[in-house]
Amino acid sequence: MNGRPPSASEVIMTELVLPNDTNQLGNLLGGRLMHWIDIAAALVSQRHTGKICVTASVDEISFHEPIKLGHVVHVRARITRAFRTSMEVEVIVEREDPLNGSYARTSVAYLTFVGIDQYGKPLLAPPVLPETDEEKRRYDEAAQRRDARLRERKARTTAASSNA
Ligand SMILES: CC(C)(COP(=O)(O)OP(=O)(O)OC[C@H]1O[C@@H](n2cnc3c(N)ncnc32)[C@H](O)[C@@H]1OP(=O)(O)O)[C@@H](O)C(=O)NCCC(=O)NCCS
């Protein structure tokens, strides 16, 4: 299975925040932003594998500052690493105020995707071939995040079954 560099599947999605995207304070709805994050990351995993991919998990997402009506949202999604069938995608969200040109990073999210066949069975993922120092750093850190994620998942499953 041929590997691919992160740059081959990168997605940059740009959205203008319109009234229907906001709450009563004129701030972007968290759910709308999570939808954009999920779509951008799903596109990355589908470009990387050439298969239909589903979201297996989304790590904690924090919103560091409000994004306002009229701001531009840049959602940049890149694959960090593929494991056996799962892949981690990093999504960085920046908001731009087009009236004064200011930028701020407002969220970073990590999502796990799995490519599946027509029966929903997980498929092997092509390896990620990091090229730059930054991509190599993200690749190494992805293994630590995956260990923590799977440990938490196991702890939750154990807690749920002992409460049943
Ligand atoms: C994700 C899914 C395909 C996994 O299938 P499965 O039969 O449980 O398969 P496995 O247990 O072998 O897991 C497959 C891979 O996913 C990973 N995985 C599964 N659940 C995970 C989770 N909650 N978080 C992180 N990774 C997860 C496993 O670690 C494994 O990775 P690896 O092959 O790289 O080692 C399946 O659970 C599914 O279809 N879930 C619903 C997806 C969906 O509908 N998403 C949208 C929800 S709104």
Q: pLDDT digit string (tens) for 93-116?
A: 999 999 999 999 999 999 999 999
Answer yes or no: is 1 within a domain: no
55 lines ligand 1 (CB under 6 A): yes
pLDDT band (50, 70, 90) for residue 144? very high
Answer yes or no: is 56 within a domain: yes
Listed residue (28, 7, 6, 25) closest to 17, CA to CA:
28
Answer yes or no: is 136 within a domain: yes
CA atoms of 55 and 153, how far apart (whole Å): 15
Answer yes or no: is 70 within a domain: yes
Give the Å distance between the CA of 106 and the centre of ligand 1: 28
Give the Å distance between the CA of 116 and the centre of ligand 1: 10
153 lines ligand 1 (CB under 6 A): yes
Answer yes or no: is 52 within a domain: yes
Answer yes or no: is 53 within a domain: yes
pLDDT at 130: 98
Q: Which residues pair with 150 in a beta bridge?
A: none
Listed residue (162, 53, 52, 30) closest to 109, CA to CA:
30
82 lines ligand 1 (CB under 6 A): no
Q: Which domain holds residue 152?
A: 6-163
CA atoms of 51 and 39, how far apart (whole Å): 15
Give the Å distance between the CA of 5 and the centre of ligand 1: 23
Q: Supply the residue whose CA is at minimum distance from atom 2 of ligand 1.
A: 56
Answer yes or no: is 118 within a domain: yes
CA atoms of 95 and 9, how far apart (whole Å): 22
Give the Å distance between the CA of 114 and the centre of ligand 1: 6
Give the count of beta carbons closer than 10 Å to the beta carbon of residue 138. 20
**32: enclosing H helix or E strand:** helix 30-49
Number of domains into which the chain is organized: 1
CA atoms lying within 13 Å on the CB side of residue 46: 12
Summarize pLDDT for 31-61 with one digit per residue, the tens.
Answer: 999 999 999 999 999 999 999 999 999 999 9
pTM exceeds 0.75: yes
- CATH for 54: 3.10.129.10
Answer yes or no: is 62 within a domain: yes
